[in-house]
Amino acid sequence: MSNINMFVDLNGLKLKNPVTVASGTFGFGREFADYIDLNKIGAISVKGLTLEERKGNPTPRVAETPMGMLNSVGLQNPGVEYFIKYELPFLKQFDTKIIANINGNTIEEYCKIANILSKTSVNSLELNISCPNVKKGGVSFGREPEMVYEITKKVREYCSKHLIVKLSPNVKDIREIANAAEEGGADCISLINTLIGMAVDIEKETTILARGIGGLSGPAIKPVAVRMVYEVYNTVSIPIIGMGGIMNYKDAVEFFLVGASAISIGTGNLINPYITMEILDGIENHLRTKNYASVKDIVGKIKIPSA
């Protein structure tokens, strides 16, 4: 048994440990149940949900890059009602918190899905504001502080659950966006979502992804994610779930040191299905070696040497 206190409280969402998995990289949990004990994960953020079923984008919609991957899956999912009927009962078998990642093309869609899920046994909603706002010409909800505040405030009115707002890194100033989410009523912030990227096939002289551009994840984005978590930690008073290129326990510890209270593993799950357990063990061993009693002892502990 570990003598390290791994418990974290994300402003009302209480986790047995700070290791969670990122939406879109862990399915609905079934896909990994044969590899790891789902009871040992702090929380599972399920595949992004929409009001109705979505088939997703045309293939190819995934491309490997030298330090990560590009994806343009297009939020393929069976819809919120299917999730509630068929996937949620499976997840409720396990001693882990369930985070429902929600998506929409209008504020009204977000509010409807938040209202539906608030009547279920999910523990938290994660508001994905990287979606295009069809009423604003397709511009991402997460691009401007005013829009972030508006959508967070509106969804908060329909959400009786713990509310996480997931921030896009594709913005001018992440601090302004984080402030807007906090002021709109977010209980917690998760960041970062994917960076925008592109890959080219020089023989065919075309993009590898059918839609051209996609979201870049994996080790390549970790320095950007670490910097943004640091900036947001020093801007808001609500807790942060840090993510972006976490491939081992050392990466996870970096995020804690710059201010994340919990971490989320994404692309790493697609490479190594056992990664969550390996990182959890690694964090505990690191804390023990450094003589810390709790994971909370290292949150925000980073020191920046004088220039």
Q: How far apart are CA 89 and CA 280, in angstroms?
A: 26
Catalytic status, residue 131: yes
Are 269 and 276 in contact by the 8 Å Cβ rule? The answer is: yes
Q: What is the DSSP string of 106-130?
A: SHHHHHHHHHHHHTSS-SEEEEETT
Which are the contacts of 183, defined by CB distance < 8 A and separation ≥ 6?
A: 149, 152
The amino acid at residue 240 is I
Closest CA to 164 of 123, 209, 194: 123
Tally the C-alpha atoms within 13 A of residue 168's C-alpha that lie toward its C-beta. Answer: 20
Q: Distances from the Cα of 214 to the Cαs of 107, 166, 222, 271, in angstroms?
A: 23, 17, 17, 19
Rounded Cα distance between 213 and 296, Å, is 38
Catalytic residue from among 111, 131, 159, 188: 131
Any idea which residues carry the catalytic annotation? 131
